[in-house]
Amino acid sequence: MDTSPEEKKRSEHSPDSRDDQIEASHDACTPPSGVVGVFSTLGNLPEWPVPGIGLLSGKLLNTAIAWCSCLAFLMFGYDQGVMSGLLTLDDFQRHFPLMTPLSQANSICWLDSPTNTVRDERMCTGDANTQAAAVALYQVGCFLGAVLILFYGELWGRKSSTFWGSLIMIIGTIFQVAAGGMNGGGVDAYAILIVGRVVGGIGNGMVTSKSAIPTWQSECAKPEKRGKLIITSGAIIVAGIMISYWAGYGFYFLPAGQAYSSVRWRFPVAFQSFFTVLVMVALLFLPDSPRWLLMRGREQEARHLLARLAGAPVESAEVEVELNNIKDALEAQSREGPFKMRELLHNGPSQNLRRTLLGVAAQFFQQISGINLITYYATYVFENSLGFGPDMSRLLAAANGTEYFLAGLIAIPLIERAGRRNLMLFGAFGMMSSMIILAGTSSTATIDEQGAPVLSTLYGVIATVFLFGFNTFFAIDAWDVRADMFSGWLGMTWLYPAEITSLRIRIQANALSTCSNWLSNFLIVMITPPAFENLQYNTYTMFAVFNAAIIPSVYFFFPEPKGRSLEELDVIFASEDDAEARGAGARCGDYEVLWGRCGGGEEAECCKYAGTELELRKSRRFFNRGLRHAKGAMMADNATSSSSSGPRAD
């Protein structure tokens, strides 16, 4: 048997093998009425006749889209890290006394520094809870933005959602920079800062939601590049965190207590808008995704865009195959009828509830590992827990962010047996060990006469090394040669939910896992300052226990998706009766991808390829039957139609 190049290409890039999901129903894209309808019309950026929009094509266009996406993830990371160096900055504390708990060691709380015996009633009027709330409510805004895109993202489009989300982020930044006026304030300054962080969070949640930048990047990229883009996005987020740390460190050395000294905190906060403006400008000259254009019935535009992305003529076979793949996916989903959220809430033959919960758990585990203890409070931890001075705390935080970024870029070639679960288990064990050592070393700290922690030089060095080590265990990702993917806690928890969910539920299940990420993120960021105030060094013990609980959870409940197609994963989650039924009644299209991977070779070799990847007997029976059915069906199709995309008999 033999397969034409066009047919083989279609098989390899069939919609059944895609990581992304596209809403099929055109009815779902009908603009709503009222304010939302007006907004969706205004947000229809692809309709704008922008001069020069057709100049980019091929590799140049793909590179421009990748860079625009990187800028969006960069501003996301910057937003996460920018507050770290501000919480203990004296000029920031003067402007926002409700952000500052009373401390014997903090000179701005007292009128007679350095004696620190006469209280300044205007300063340090907050506590650990008000401090944590100002930082953590940003995550609530991100959650609201993600929910907004969950319901309206498919209507507005990838590009429009990102554009308007970026604009909302700029509005939030303006509120934050303006908060406190020139001389600071009390409740009013604190309230304006909170509003700014929530508004900025809404914008960020819109931009980084599954239906915005990540999907836009994925839908415009070549299939073989998508896995690499996922981990690159994770590394770029960490790069944004690193930049925010160094910005805070640099502006720390401006003179304090002067009329212009508020620039020490205002500029680092305002600088995030630099990336946001670049994203908005870039979006004006870049197209939306071809899949979204097809959803809107704009087939000619989608065809031309696919040609530009491929750097090929509009009438080429490559463009035609890719266009048909997208149309097939839309038609297949349309046949199943409109999606209903209740499909996620019951198991049934496909185990939808179990898959959704595993995706939610993966995101939850990422957050309770303790990574945001460091990301949001690095300077706070070095200064108030490990006893370093203000200068050294900021330098160590910036160095920690740099190490975090470099660790995220490391790729270790793995042997074929390594997989997602092994990296998750290894990372959780390493993070648990790091937290145990941090708890042990910081427990030896003594308190000086001003209430500041004092750690011996040896224990301070050990604690710092393992704080850096924690980031390494979290961020380091390993390259799986066979699966052409990265695995590890930094990128894996975004990849894993997409891998284990079926095409039918992928967007909605991934949106729920993203909501889980923001809510658990809020939880960890909110409890950290009160935990340090009440538990001291046992805060690290708490996170060590969390990581210890992750290990058996992953080992017993998380299946290994490495090297398996989406169809194989459907079988792993299916009941045995359902697997038999699927094998007996399989349609040709369901097995096109697997047959394409076999290369049209002997049936025994195809079945061997499918069977050896699966331990379950029901999976082998499913694929043996399915492959035989696929072979016969595609040969029959070929006999009746010269345009069939299945393998042809010699």
**Residue 577 near residue 385, CB atoms below 8 Å:** no
Helix or strand or coil: residue 51?
coil
Q: Among the listed ranges 51-60, 135-144, 545-554, 572-581, which one has the minimum average pLDDT value?
A: 572-581
Domain with CATH 1.20.1250.20 in the chain: 75-282, 350-557
pLDDT tier, 485 (very low <50, low <70, confident <90, very high otherwise) = very low
* pLDDT tens-digit map of 130-181: 999 999 999 999 999 988 887 787 778 888 889 999 999 999 999 999 997 7
pLDDT tier, 200 (very low <50, low <70, confident <90, very high otherwise) = very high
Residue 82 has pLDDT above 90, yes or no: yes
Angstrom distance (rounded) from CA 124 to CA 465: 32
pLDDT tier, 355 (very low <50, low <70, confident <90, very high otherwise) = confident
Residue 370 has pLDDT above 90, yes or no: yes
* pLDDT tens-digit map of 412-462: 444 334 566 777 888 899 999 999 999 999 999 988 777 778 889 999 999
Please state, in angstroms and as integers, the Cα–Cα distance from residue 545 to each residue in 305, 369, 552, following that order.
51, 9, 12
Q: What is the arithmetic mean of pLDDT over 359-367?
A: 90
Tokens of 480: 């799986």
Mean of the per-residue pLDDT values of the chain: 75
* pLDDT tens-digit map of 513-548: 888 889 999 999 999 999 998 999 999 999 999 999
**Residue 372 near residue 441, CB atoms below 8 Å:** no
* pLDDT tens-digit map of 312-327: 888 888 888 888 877 8
Cα dihedral value 216, 222, 228, 229, nearest 10: -20
SS (H, E, C) 440-475: HHHCCCEECCCCCEECCHHHHHHHHHHHHHHHHHHH
Residue 622 has pLDDT above 70, yes or no: no
**Residue 235 near residue 243, CB atoms below 8 Å:** no
CATH number belonging to domain 75-282: 1.20.1250.20
Angstrom distance (rounded) from CA 417 to CA 365: 24
Burial bucket for residue 25 (CB in 10 Å: 0-12, 13-18, 19+): middle
* pLDDT tens-digit map of 208-239: 876 678 778 777 877 666 656 666 777 788 89
pLDDT at 583: 42
pLDDT at 382: 94
pLDDT tier, 123 (very low <50, low <70, confident <90, very high otherwise) = confident
Q: In sequence order, which residues have a C-beta less than 8 Å from that of residue 100 and are 6 or more positions away?
A: 93, 106, 108, 109, 123, 124, 125, 126, 131
Percent of the chain clearing pLDDT 70 (strictly above): 69
CA nearest neighbour of 381 among 365, 396, 399: 396
Angstrom distance (rounded) from CA 238 to CA 490: 9
Give the ranges where 82-157 is alpha helix by DSSP (H): 90-95, 128-156
DSSP secondary structure, 302-351, as one string? HHHHHHHHHTS-TTSHHHHHHHHHHHHHHHHHHHT-S--GGGGG--TTTT
pLDDT tier, 183 (very low <50, low <70, confident <90, very high otherwise) = low
- According to DSSP, residue 55 is labeled S
Q: Please determine, looking at this structure, whether the domain spanning 350-557 carries the CATH number 1.20.1250.20.
A: yes
